Amino acid sequence: MSLAVVTGAARGIGRAVAERLVTRHSLLLVDMSQAVHETAAQLGAVAVQADITQPEGIAAIVAAVDGASEPPAMLVNNAGITRDALIHKMEEAVFRAVVRVNLGGTYALTEALAGRIVDGGSVVNLSSRAQLGNVGQFNYAVSKTGVIGCTRALALALAPRLRVNAVAPGFVESDMTRAMPARVRERVVSAVPLARAGQPEDIADAVAWLGSEAAGYLTGQVLYVCGGRSFG
């Protein structure tokens, strides 16, 4: 089996993606959290605990890829953070931190690994429905809009050797969203045309499909997995 590299893989969407890909790829799972080692052990994968915003973190991931028994065929740039605040209350350091992880980390790891991914391979970046605009998420929206621009530019730069696409999730069940006040959560879910929150598995299915031969003529595209809320 070929290798797939998944960042932000310790839990949530990243873990769900790893669980989808494990049947057709060997896995290299990356996360800042120590929990990535447990996830990797459960899936028979290799874990790298690393910060994708730091040169030493990128170097550790590259070393693990170079030490694998097969070259990578897929890279999933899922790692990301939120630091929400209204713009007049947002500190510059908070704005920069979110952009550095969500956009800068995606750039840094893709730049490091693109030449190592086999011909015909795939990069899938995680954007967000929030790039269309959410109150209190100015920094997050900027970072995820940047991921879409990065995706489209890389699709042109790396074609025809590699495909590069993005998935833009909407409101997805997570530890963070389950902790929201009930009234806020209900308001958000009521705005979703399909009348439910997304599950990490919904996003994982889209990522796995974009990385498969079934999506072999798609590159530079953004797939909104948001229950219809991208247009409603």
> pTM of the prediction?
0.94
8 A C-beta contact, residue 124 and residue 210:
yes
Q: Phi, psi (5° rounding) for residue 2?
A: -80, 165
Question: ∠ CA(32), CA(35), CA(37), 5° rounding?
Answer: 95
108-136 pLDDT tens trace:
999 999 999 999 999 999 998 877 777 76
Q: Which two tokens stand for residue 193?
A: 């045309």
- The mean pLDDT value for 31-35 works out to 97
Taking every pair of Cα atoms in the chain, the longest distance, rounded to a whole number of angstroms, is 50
Give all domains of the chain, ordered by start, each with its CATH number.
2-172+199-225 (3.40.50.720)
198-231 pLDDT tens trace:
999 999 999 999 999 999 999 999 999 999 987 6
Enzyme catalytic residues = 140
How is 20-63 classified by DSSP, letter by letter? HHTTTEEEEEEESSTHHHHHHHHHT-EEEE--TTSHHHHHHHHH
8 A C-beta contact, residue 29 and residue 12:
no
8 A C-beta contact, residue 46 and residue 28:
yes
Query: Cis (ω within 30 of 0) for the bond into 160?
Result: yes
Q: Which range among 10-19, 21-30, 127-136, 167-176 shows the weakest confidence by mean pLDDT?
A: 127-136
